[in-house]
């Protein structure tokens, strides 16, 4: 059978010879999506169904057939990493000049261009962080706030702005909001006002202001609206379930009266409602555009059938939930990998016992030949990672924290890149592998990994990842080309795969996948989290667990602990585990380790 395009490695490929080549590897639904190039189009795409493949092939097909001028297409998403992924795929598909940006990057570019024309002078400085300005705003009100409270205050300001609420509108609803303990509604509103005043006095904008100001210019200045709409005609929005009211408003201003819009998303993966995201725009797309073409992508190419079945059971009957169908595989491949096991559920007496057991299982897997980078341990909140770090250290297992220091920001990596850049300037006529290995050896890299775990091993792992990039470079790649590619990856936050187990929160795991996933800490109070009150908040926790489940390709292990460190055994298993219990081996177990 023909293998769908999204199951192929994402390494650079040759540009397709003609437009039809772009469609040849797509399944029927993906092809339908790719061929629907005009008018409003909505792709309801479940986890692992190849949504990125569908939208990038759709754009590239439109460019190849002449329907789209590449300079008039804008692909929008929500993170720099996702935008870089879109750009990389479009480049490989022969559409390198199509703009793929975050909402903020697109708005900032327009704001910087139009500000001197509309307002005059230079654009105000963009705040990197709200913390310092908020601290000064609090001082003007004679309030002393700790760092945690300032973070909560910043999040509340961001929520207000992306929800398109004026200060007066916010003041009316603030008494019903969950606010920091030391701030009542009146103080919170006063802090919002003081923050805006300090910011205005200093001629500064925050990230939400960038969207607001761009929207204001388009709305109030006809010539700005005309220029923007002449520049971009075709819009593609990835992860549309995460759009906020402010982003939706800006999108509508970019579009004007036109309807050449394609959105893609999955309501079951809406996990940022607390930050203002809303799936209502995705689910209401068909009613908003009467002539919309709606395509459902439900064939899952990522996860084995037992994992797909588990995900479906969790989301059955939820609003907008898609029913995933495990993609068939040929018998030879099935025989080679073995039948995927059913997900397991285990109970432990304490968090540390759970962490030790998981670390032991991971160590056994690695000893049996599993690559550590194919394993992840996911949890609800950052503090849960501490016990896992200790247990993995004790088991001699290398790990990396998702959301920790970026690979390209590590001191040894920065040093290696600067030395490689210096070497690329000199006229060195040697194979890439030899030049890179010589530079890395001068920094202490060896072909054999150091024994044990620690700072020396961590440094070696980082340098070895640079070596791995050189080994993976296409034949005949020059040192200059290699260095340019590495610096481009650094700018795009496209980091290499480390030979280490990943530790990550459920939120930071979004968009990633591994062969084996351990979901730990699945007890009441953690999943769902204690502060999730009411149907909507609990449903968001359900979707968060769904995201975690659908990160697994072959093996999924769920677990919970009856007690935290030094506490009485008073926890209960997550209510969501109860819904999965009847079909999951080990689910009735309450054994401790």
Question: Got the DSSP string for 382-398?
Answer: GGGHHHHHHHHHHTT--
Q: What is the pLDDT of residue 573?
A: 95
User: 47-69 burial, b for 16+ CB within 10 Å, e for fewer?
Assistant: bbbbbbbbbbbbbbbbbbeeebe
- In angstroms, rounded to a whole number, what is the distance separating the alpha carbons of residues 552 and 310? 11
Closest CA to 253 of 98, 106, 102: 106
145 token code pair:
């706030």
| Orientation of helix 411-425 relative to helix 479-491, angle to 10° | 140
Q: What is the pLDDT of residue 493?
A: 57
Residue entry with tokens 């991971």: 362
Q: Is 102 exposed, middle or buried (0-12, 13-18, 19+ CB in 10 A)?
A: middle
Q: What is the pLDDT of residue 593?
A: 31
Give CA torsion, residues 228, 234, 236, 241, to 10 deg: 70
Q: What is the pLDDT of residue 19?
A: 84
Task: Evaluate whether 307 touches 558 at the Cβ level (below 8 Å).
Answer: no
- CA distances 435 to 422, 438, 439, 474, 482, Å, are 12, 5, 6, 15, 11
Question: In terms of C-beta distances under 8 Å and separation of at least 24 residues, what long-range contacts does 168-174 make, across chains too?
Answer: none
DSSP 180: -
Tens of pLDDT, residues 378-427: 999 877 887 898 899 889 898 888 866 667 778 888 899 999 988 888 76
- In angstroms, rounded to a whole number, what is the distance separating the alpha carbons of residues 254 and 226? 9
Task: Evaluate whether 579 touches 314 at the Cβ level (below 8 Å).
Answer: yes
Element of type H or E holding 125: strand 125-126
Q: What is the pLDDT of residue 567?
A: 60
Q: What is the pLDDT of residue 487?
A: 84
What string of pLDDT tens digits covers the 593 residues of the chain?
A: 233 334 433 333 334 448 888 998 899 999 999 999 998 999 999 999 999 999 999 999 999 999 999 999 999 999 988 999 999 999 999 999 999 999 999 999 999 999 999 998 899 999 988 999 999 999 999 999 888 788 889 989 999 999 999 999 999 999 998 887 778 999 999 999 999 999 999 999 999 999 999 999 999 999 999 999 999 999 999 999 999 999 999 999 999 999 999 999 999 999 999 889 999 999 999 999 989 999 999 999 999 999 999 999 999 989 889 999 987 765 445 544 557 889 999 999 999 899 999 999 999 999 999 999 999 999 998 778 878 988 998 898 988 888 666 677 788 888 999 999 888 887 667 888 889 999 999 988 988 876 554 556 677 878 888 888 888 788 888 888 888 888 877 776 566 667 889 999 999 999 899 999 999 999 998 999 888 888 999 999 999 999 999 999 999 999 999 987 656 668 899 999 988 875 555 543 443 33
Q: What is the pLDDT of residue 532?
A: 84
Q: What is the pLDDT of residue 360?
A: 97
- In angstroms, rounded to a whole number, what is the distance separating the alpha carbons of residues 493 and 540? 28
**pTM, entire model:** 0.80
Closest CA to 35 of 22, 17, 49: 22
How do 41-45 and 73-77 pair as beta strands? unpaired
DSSP 523: B
User: 406-433 burial, b for 16+ CB within 10 Å, e for fewer?
Assistant: ebbebebbeebbebbeebbeeeeeeebe
Q: What is the pLDDT of residue 492?
A: 61
- In angstroms, rounded to a whole number, what is the distance separating the alpha carbons of residues 486 and 512? 21
Q: What is the pLDDT of residue 568?
A: 60
Q: What is the pLDDT of residue 183?
A: 87
């Amino acid at each position: 059978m023909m293998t769908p395009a999204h199951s192929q490695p994402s390494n650079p490929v040759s540009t397709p010879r003609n437009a039809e080549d772009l469609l040849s590897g797509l399944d029927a639904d993906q092809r339908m999506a790719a061929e629907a190039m005009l008018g409003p189009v909505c792709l309801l795409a479940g986890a692992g169904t190849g949504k990125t493949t569908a939208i990038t092939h759709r754009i590239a097909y439109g460019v190849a057939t002449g329907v789209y001028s590449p300079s008039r297409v804008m692909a929008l998403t929500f993170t720099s990493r996702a935008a870089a992924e879109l750009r990389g795929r479009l480049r490989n598909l022969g559409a390198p000049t199509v703009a793929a940006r975050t909402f903020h990057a697109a708005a900032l570019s327009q704001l910087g261009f139009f500000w001197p024309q509309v307002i005059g002078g230079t654009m105000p400085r963009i705040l990197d962080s709200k913390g310092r300005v908020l601290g000064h705003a609090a001082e003007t009100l004679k309030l002393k706030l700790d760092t945690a409270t300032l973070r909560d205050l910043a999040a509340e300001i961001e929520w207000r702005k992306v929800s398109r609420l004026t200060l007066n509108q916010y003041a009316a609803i603030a008494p019903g909001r969950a606010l920091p303990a030391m701030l009542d509604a009146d103080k919170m509103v006063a802090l919002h006002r003081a923050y805006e005043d300090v910011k205005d006095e200093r001629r500064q904008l925050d990230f939400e202001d960038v969207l607001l100001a761009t929207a204001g210019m388009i709305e109030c200045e006809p010539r700005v609206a005309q220029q923007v709409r002449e520049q971009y005609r075709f819009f593609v929005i990835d992860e549309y379930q995460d759009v906020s009211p402010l982003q939706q408003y800006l999108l509508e201003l970019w579009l004007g009266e036109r309807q050449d819009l394609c959105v893609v998303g999955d309501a079951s993966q809406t996990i940022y409602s607390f930050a203002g995201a809303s799936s209502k725009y995705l689910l209401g797309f068909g009613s908003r555009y009467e002539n919309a073409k709606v395509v459902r992508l439900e064939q899952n190419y990522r996860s084995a059938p037992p994992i797909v079945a588990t995900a479906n059971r969790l989301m059955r009957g939820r609003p907008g939930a898609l029913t995933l169908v495990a993609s068939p595989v040929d018998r030879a491949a099935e025989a080679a990998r073995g039948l995927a096991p059913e997900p397991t559920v285990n109970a432990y007496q304490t968090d540390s016992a759970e962490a030790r057991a998981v670390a032991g299982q991971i160590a056994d897997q690695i000893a049996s030949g599993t690559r550590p980078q194919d394993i992840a341990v996911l949890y609800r909140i950052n503090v849960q990672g501490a016990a896992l770090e200790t247990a993995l250290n004790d088991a001699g297992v290398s790990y990396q924290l998702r959301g920790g220091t970026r690979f390209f920001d590590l001191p040894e990596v920065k040093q290696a890149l600067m030395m490689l850049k210096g070497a690329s300037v000199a006229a060195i006529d040697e194979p890439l592998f030899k030049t890179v290995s010589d530079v890395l050896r001068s920094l202490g890299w060896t072909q054999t990994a150091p024994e044990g775990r620690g700072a020396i091993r961590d440094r070696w792992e980082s340098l070895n990842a640079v070596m791995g990039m050189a080994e993976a470079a296409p034949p005949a790649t020059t040192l200059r080309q290699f260095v340019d590619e590495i610096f481009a990856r650094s700018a795009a936050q496209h980091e290499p795969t480390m030979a280490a187990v990943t530790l990550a929160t459920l939120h930071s795991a979004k968009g990633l996948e591994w062969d084996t996933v351990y979901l730990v800490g699945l007890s009441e109070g953690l999943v769902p989290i204690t502060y999730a009150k009411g149907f909507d908040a609990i449903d968001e926790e359900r979707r968060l667990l769904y995201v975690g489940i659908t990160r697994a390709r072959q093996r999924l292990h769920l677990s919970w602990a009856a007690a935290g460190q030094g506490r009485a055994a008073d926890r209960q298993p997550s209510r969501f585990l109860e819904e999965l219990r009847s079909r999951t081996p080990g689910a009735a177990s309450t054994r401790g380790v």
